[in-house]
Every structure is written in C-alpha cells, then in structure tokens.
A and B are shown apart, each in its own frame.
Chain A
Amino acid sequence: MHGARLVTPSMLVAFAIFGTLPFWITEIGLYRYLGVEILIWCIYALGFNLLMGYAGLPSFGHGAYFGIGAYACGLAQFELWANLWFCLAAGVVAAAVFGAVVAAFISHRRGIYFALMTIAFGQMFFFIASKWTSVTNGEDGLLNIARLPVELGFWNYPIRGNADFYWFVFACFVVCVVALWRLVNSPFGKVVQAIKQNEARMAFLGYRVALYKAVAFILSCAVAGFAGALFAMAQGGAFVQVMNLQWSGVIVLMVLIGGGFVSFWGPVLGTVLYFVARDLLGAYTEAWLLWFGLMFMAVVMFKPEGLAGIGQDALRKWRGLPRAPAAGWAWLRR
C-alpha cells in the first residue's frame, strides 16, 4: 500500500502509457477512436470497482446509470445550454440523483438481494428509456450530440477530432484516477472496505453502515454518469442498448477479469484486455465471445485475482518474494 500518496508510481506508468497512446496506437494497427472508447470505459470501470471491489457490492444494473448520463448530456445540450462543463455535470448529477433514489431502496440489502435489486432497477430504467421515445428517441437513438469545445474562459479549444477528443478524455481520466485513489485511501474508503469484510462488526462499532453503502453506490453511479456523458459525445449520440442487462454484465466481467478485487488498477487492465481482445479476435472470428467466455471462465477458476493478480505474482517473483499471502484472502473464504 502506498498510503495516501497523491500520485503513485503506477499512476505515472499508466499516465505515461495512455498519455502517449495517440502517437503509437495507429502504429500497432489500432485506431484512435478505440483509445477514446477504452479510456471512457476505464473511467466507468474504476468507478464501478469502488462499488464492487472496495465496497463488495456487485451491481448488475450499472449500465442504467451510464445510459442516464449519456441521455442527460445530450438533453442538456439540446434543451438547456450547449456548454461542455454543463453537459458533463448534467450527466453526473442525473446519474447520481437516480442512483440516490435506488440507493434508498437497496442500501440495506446485502449480497444476492443487493445484486438482484440492482438488476430490477436497471431493467426498469432500460425499459423506460426504450419506451419513452419522445425524450430518448427509443431505438433510433438520441442523435447529433456534439463534442463541445473546452471553454476555460480565457481559452477555447475545439475537440471535434478523435485526437483532440482523446486528449480531453485523457485529462478526465487523470482527474478521475487521482480522485478515486484519494477516495479509496481516505477514512471513508477505509470504512467502506471494513464494511465489506465484516458488516455486522462495523454496525456494532456504531458506523451507519447503510449510509456508507448508499454513498459508495451514489458515487459509483455518478462516475458511471460522467463516463456515459463522455461516451455520448464520443459516439455523437445516446443509445439505449448500453443500459441493458448484457452490457451491465460486461462491466462486471471487465472489472473482474482485470482483478478489481486485488488492485486499484484491475478495472483498467480488464477494460484494455476486453477491447483489444475484442477488436483483434473479432477481426478473425465471429465467435469471439466463445473464446472470451472461455478465457473468462479460466480466469475465475484458476486466477480469480485476475490480470492484476497475475501481475502482482510476477512482480513478487521478480523481487524474490513469496506468492501472495493467503491471509489477505480471508474475507473470501469465510
């Protein structure tokens, strides 16, 4: 643990890789839009892991908040004020408000009942979004959402091209990473992790457990909404499919395969793997989901700590240390 350092070495590595990505991504046969999409999903996944990895609360309906953020961004732009900051804020606030309503129902729940209630709410939001066509435009999609210029009062910078937009998303990524890192290492973050390990004990110690869980849920929804707003601008539209059960499952899959349970960076690794594997496997086989599914099963069976766990083992071996101590896994064994 690096305690509460503001910037860690691994952050610098990640920022160096993503910060130079536009210069080399086309050289390795990929394309910049993929970089944009990966970064946005990284933000989404990091926020999701606050809930799943740190608070131990698996949500299977998180796509709803991503989608709400996307619609809010578009609607704010069309109906209220076409300003970048305002649209992003609209995405965050809308997702957080809906998240707060849901949190009121589910923050007293645990385990499976929590997961299932998130599915129920997620499905409801999905159906309402597809049904409320006068607002969301249904399956046709809310189109022509613009990538608005970055306005800093003294300086305006257009971000319409994929490269410029990438830089903006990268800046957002940096802010989110630093903020989330601070958060999980703050007293709040410690309490949330303690609740994951033993909810009853924390309640006994006088912590208002449900409140902490609710706040973790709302924060994670807000981050999802932020990512959704960025995605709406990246895609130039908001579509209902990202809200469905399958896409809500995909984020769980990415976070877990990357190793969200053992590492702050797990979600990032998982997201990168998912998109790159999909792009490359998808170019060669239409059954890429078959291979991805098999890979996923193998990870759950043989290395549930995910890519981050593999990395940590490798690092320890390199430094001549023993493998990950089992004691850290006590909460998993019960």
Chain B
Amino acid sequence: MTTISRRSMLAAGAAGVTLFNGPWRHNRVWAQKSAKPILIGLTHDASGQFANSGQDEQRGTVMAIEEINAKGGVLGRKLSYITADTETTPATATRVAERMINRNEVAFIVGAIQSGVANAIGQVAQKYGVVYFNTNSSSPTEAGKDCQRVKFVWDGTGANFANANAANVVNTFGKKWLLLTNDYVWGHNTSKATRQTASKFGAEMADEILVPVGTRDFSPILLKVQQIKPDVVAAAVGGDDLKVMQKQVVDMKLARQPAWLQNQLDWPDVYGLGVESVFGVFGTTWYHKLDLPGVADLVKRYQARWPETRIDVPGNVFYNGYMAMHELAKAIERAGSTNNIKVIKALEGHKMAARDRMQHFDAYIDPVSHHVQQTIYLASGNDKPVDKTDYFKILSQVEPDKAKDPNEAANCKLQPYDKTPTYEM
C-alpha cells in the first residue's frame, strides 16, 4: 500500500521534472524565461536503515511544495522538485548532491536523516554554495563542529533533548542513573550532554554501557541493568538498535522499573507498533495532538494528501521537512531572490512565530550555528490514548533557550561569506 503512494509520488515528480530533465538531454529551455521554476533537490533516504523516516520527511517537503505552488509559488516562480535516494550512505549522498547541482542544476537541496549523509551533502553544497537544509539529523555535531555556512539544521539535537529532559527526570525518578550509549558519535555526544546536565541537578552516574551499533540482542545488557538497579536508565540508542531494544524491554515488562529516559523518539520509528511499544520519557519537537491552532487542520490535510501511507498521522519527521520547506520559500520571498547569500542572510537570525510553527514558543534560526532553536516537548507513552494514533502523552514544553546546547556556539565555526561561492538558479 505504501508502494502505491510512493509510486504515485514518483510519478508526480517524474511528470513535473524528468520530462524537462530526462537523463539523456540537458534542457535549458527555462533559462531564457523569468518564470523558470525553482528546482529543489530532495535528498531523502529511500533505502537503507532510515528509508522509512526518509520517506516520511519526503511527504513533508512534497506537501509543502504543493501548498506553496497552490498559492502561486515564490517570486512568481513555481517550485518543482527532483528526488534521489541517498541510501543512508555518504558515498551515494555525495554523488547525488554532485548530480543534482551539476546536472539537474537545482537551486536548493533539502533532506537528511543520518549525520554522515548530511555531512556528505553539506560538503558538496558548501563547495558550490548551494543552500542545504538538514531536516532531520539530530547529531549535536551537525550544528556544532560540522556546521557550515550553507547548511541549516531543523531538528532538535541530542543535546537539546538531554537539556530539556534531565532536570525534570532527576526530580521525578531519582538520582542513580545508568547511561546506555550507542557506540557512535551521536550516542557519545548525546550521553555527554545528558551526563553534564543531569549531574548539575544532582544525578550520579552509576555506569555507562556502550552498546555497539548493530546490536540485536539486548539480553546481556538488560540483565546487567537489573543487576545495577538504577533509578533511571538514560538511553541514547538510535536507529534499528533502538527498535530492537524497545521490543525487548517491552517484552520483558522492564519498561516501568527502572524509569527510562530516551533521548528522542522519531514518529516513523514507533508508529504502527502499538501504543504499548512506547515507554519511558523522551523528547520530541512536535505532536499531532498538540492543542494549538492549525494542528488539527494540518493533520486533515496530511490525511487527504497521503491517504495510502501506513503512517496515518503526521509526526515530527514529517513536520521538520514540512516546516523547513515552507521556511525556505518564505526566506526566498524575503530575500527577493534565489541568490544563495541573500537567502542565507534572510534565514540567519530569523524569528518564527509560535503560531506559524504550531509550537508553544517562538523559534529562531541561530545565526551562530544555523540551528533552529525551538520548543522541545517532553513526552511519555500514553496510558489513556483517545484513539489508535495517540501514542504520546505530552508532559511539558521547554522554551528554546532553556533547551539550547551550551557548547554549540563554541564548537561551530561557519565559513566566512567570502569563502562561500555565489550560487543562483
């Protein structure tokens, strides 16, 4: 069923794009006219570990493009898009980015789930000066050490979620903590942030267990967790490992004792597995049952546009893609041009009203790190779901500046403007 929707989406993309940019012909017919569409390169994973999330953010970016076009486009130009599978593989992502820029001549590139892919695309984009939106990779290094002048980071990072959650969890559940850290960069950075913040509120770290990437059996770890008897297990486990861990924790009914603090749960990773598969306390940037104006309407539009997808309601991954694309259009409008430097300046420091973003607090694009500083929600599994999509219970919302990563600004060194080539399509 998903297949059909993907196919029809592809068909739509193909009709709009490949007619003009078929693989064998370089068509410059639009270049002569001012009404040339603004071509967006969508680099969403369609295979590999993050295929499911990649397709979800694609639903977000595509739906935003359609809405923008329905209102007449930007600067009198329509938006069109091409998609390419980045396969959750940096080598592929580099090639895709080179191809989109050199052959398809895209104006902007949008999309990423994994930090290696985001970095691979970001490097190519920076080389040519193409503005690139990392929609969903939440590695703290994305807006820190690996930040770039052309790259903007739209998801909350591991550090944001750790900052937002830690204080609350120490007070509610106790001070003896155990860190479960996926043994890769995201895991390490996230656990480091958790350790920093939680220690500030009096938590003591009993141990840190490094979970190798690709772990499929958590039984030795779960036994050890029981032997250590912590009050709180702070898990920075991601990707397939997280799905496997959730399953095994839930199966053993270890979900309530100890208390689990998970960094972030992506909606495509949990939706469809049943409400009971969600446990512990975790962060998110958006939820489809937030009691805010516009949310219910967005859910309706999503369901009308994507009736056949298995994910019945929009989640955070969709949301980040959707919001990023709308903000891109607005930035082009403000800049009055698709010139990269003008668009970058229109984005840097830009404030986004809470109402427009359907979050509780105003958000802004940090001019120092190019990171969208936004409301972070603290949520838990829902013990009183009102319907079959109601997985989360939103516990509280944290203002952007309270969730902000204190190390981000120091770690991020954006390239100067004059080292960024001018680019305009």
Residues of A within 8 A of B (CB): 26-34, 37, 127, 130-131, 133, 137-141, 143-144, 162, 231, 234-237, 239-242, 247, 279-280, 282-286, 289
Contacts and interface: CB of A to CB of B under 8 A. Distances in A.
B91 A133 contact: no
B333 interface: no
A236 B185 contact: no
Contact of A31 (B10, B25, B99, B146): B99
Interface string B1-28: 0000010001000100010001111100
A239 B99 contact: no
B95 A34 contact: yes
B180 to A, nearest CB: 16
Contacts, number: 110
A26 B103 contact: yes
Interface in B88-141: 88-91, 94-95, 98-99, 102-103, 114-116, 119-120, 123-124, 127, 139, 141
A237 B14 contact: no
B124 A236 contact: yes
Given A34-B98, A139-B185, 17 more contacts: A30-B103, A34-B99, A127-B212, A130-B183, A131-B184, A131-B212, A139-B116, A141-B116, A162-B102, A235-B123, A237-B119, A239-B90, A239-B91, A279-B99, A280-B23, A282-B85, A286-B46
Given A37-B95, A130-B213, A235-B90, A286 B116 contact: no
B47 A289 contact: yes
A296 B121 CA distance: 30
Contacts of B94: 33, 234-237
Contact of B98 (A26, A31, A140): A31
Chain B's interface size range is 35 or more
B188 to A, nearest CB: 6
Contacts of A138: 184-185
B116 A282 contact: no
Contacts of B102: 26, 31-33, 162
A133 B95 contact: no
A140 B10 contact: no
Interface in B192-235: 212-213
Among A241, A242, A279, chain B packs the most CB atoms within 10 A around the CB of: A241
B186 interface: yes
A158 B91 CA distance: 23
A143 B123 contact: yes
